[in-house]
Amino acid sequence: MNIIKTVGDMKTWSRAIRESGKTLGLVPTMGYLHEGHLSLARKSINTCDHTVVSIFVNPKQFEPNEDLDTYPRDLEADRRELERLGVDALFLPTEEEMYPEGFQTYVNIEGMTDHLCGKSRPGFFRGVTTVVLKLFHIVQPHSAFFGEKDRQQLEVIRQMVRDLNLDVEIVGLPIVREADGLAMSSRNRYLGKEERETAQSLNRALKQAQQWIAEGESSVEKIRSGMRTLIEREGRAQVDYISVCDPKRFVELKEIRGQAVVALAVQVGKARLIDNCLIERI
Ligand code: AMP
């Protein structure tokens, strides 16, 4: 596996692949890889001739009071996993490489970023779209792979690709979960034993919401408050948001008809956890 640290080297490597007529897949990550990340890399390996995984803990998507400095890292373990999988290149830019002195250009998607995570973390999506657009320009992949775990992020990136006429296919893949239902996340590492049990309430609440909806409940207000009660029963959990929203624009719904996303963000100890599911009322 090639380990590439500069923008120049990454451009040279990917240009050679494109010029040889082969397809290139990109999997952007912040590292501390788990099965969720690896499922994206596997999909890229299975569908593209060559795969690049990037690891970059992007400072521009963290708020000043967030966990940038303590975000978990284990580059050696990540490198071993990617090598074992058969990834062709690992792109590991430094902060100076991505944001050199004087950097001042940002990508801002409006509207859909006013809700959910965009509301709680005001600079988050601006940081994400800026770094992802840079990665798309540097690597110029044919396809890029993202997880539905970050469903709003996935749709924001799809919107950016449409709005800016980018030639990259965006592939969204299902949430990979631990055996107990907790969505895999690098931040799960922050959870102590009891917090880990509390964290299971996110997935439990989503499943309960799905059941209520299947049984005919269409009032979003009732679903949200029922979910909140389930989660707050676990003393250690602090709800940031619970949303039942439109799956593309992320605007809150009043009634469920057709497709909807149920999404939530909950602080458990030091970990801010998110989870979601897509539901359909026929
Ligand atoms: P991150 O390193 O957290 O920025 O995530 C990198 C990519 O992996 C994003 O596209 C995430 O949506 C995806 N991802 C993270 N956790 C999971 C998961 N449990 N299942 C599927 N994809 C995931």
Tokens found for residue 198: 């509390």
Mutate to test the pocket of ligand 1, among 37, 74, 129, 275 (most ligand atoms within 8 A of CB): 37
**Cβ of residue 183 lying under 6 Å from some atom of ligand 1:** yes
Q: 50 CB under 6 A from ligand 1? A: no
Judge if the beta carbon of residue 117 lies within 6 A of ligand 1.
no
Cite the beta strand spans of the chain per DSSP E.
Answer: 2-4, 24-29, 50-55, 89-91, 143-147, 169-173, 237-245, 258-268, 271-281
Does the domain formed by 2-173 have CATH 3.40.30.10? no
Query: How far away, in angstroms, is 168 Cα from ligand 1 center?
Result: 19
Residues identified as active-site? 37
The pLDDT tens digits for 241-264 are 999 999 999 999 999 989 999 999
Residue nearest to atom 13 of ligand 1 (CA): 147
Q: What is the pLDDT of residues 34-48, one digit of tens each?
A: 999 999 999 999 999
* Residue identifier of the C-alpha nearest atom 10 of ligand 1: 146
Give the atom of ligand 1 at the shortest distance from the alpha carbon of 177: 19
- Say yes or no: CB of residue 36 within 6 Å of ligand 1: yes
Tell me the CATH number for domain 186-275. Answer: 3.30.1300.10
C-beta of 149 in contact with ligand 1 (< 6 A): yes
How many Å lie between the centroid of ligand 1 and the Cα of residue 147?
A: 5
Q: Tell me the whole-structure pTM to 2 decimals.
A: 0.98
Element holding 120 (H helix, E strand): helix 116-120
Residue 75 half-sphere exposure, CB side, CA atoms within 13 Å?
Answer: 9
Location of each CATH 3.40.50.620 domain in the chain: 2-173
Give the pair of three-digit tokens for residue 144: 């890029």
What's phi and psi for 114, nearest 5 deg?
-80, -10
Angstrom distances, CA of residue 242 to CA of 89, 105, 150: 38, 33, 15
pLDDT reported for residue 3 = 98
* pLDDT of 235: 85
Which ligand 1 atom lies nearest to the CA of residue 30? 2
Instruction: Dig out the tokens for 19 from the structure.
Output: 């010029």
- Looking at ligand 1, which residue's alpha carbon is closest to its atom 12? 147
Angstrom distances, CA of residue 38 to CA of 42, 53, 109? 6, 10, 28
Q: What is the pLDDT of residue 148?
A: 98
Ligand 1 atom with minimal separation from the 146 CA? 10
pLDDT at 234: 84
**Which stretches of the chain score pLDDT less than 70?**
none
The pLDDT of residue 203 is 98
Burial of 209 (0-12, 13-18, 19+ CB in 10 A): buried
- 190/216 Cα distance (integer angstroms): 37
Beta strands 258-268 and 271-281, pairing class: antiparallel
Both structure tokens of 94 = 């430094």
Q: Where in the chain is the domain with CATH 3.30.1300.10?
A: 186-275
61 lines ligand 1 (CB under 6 A): no
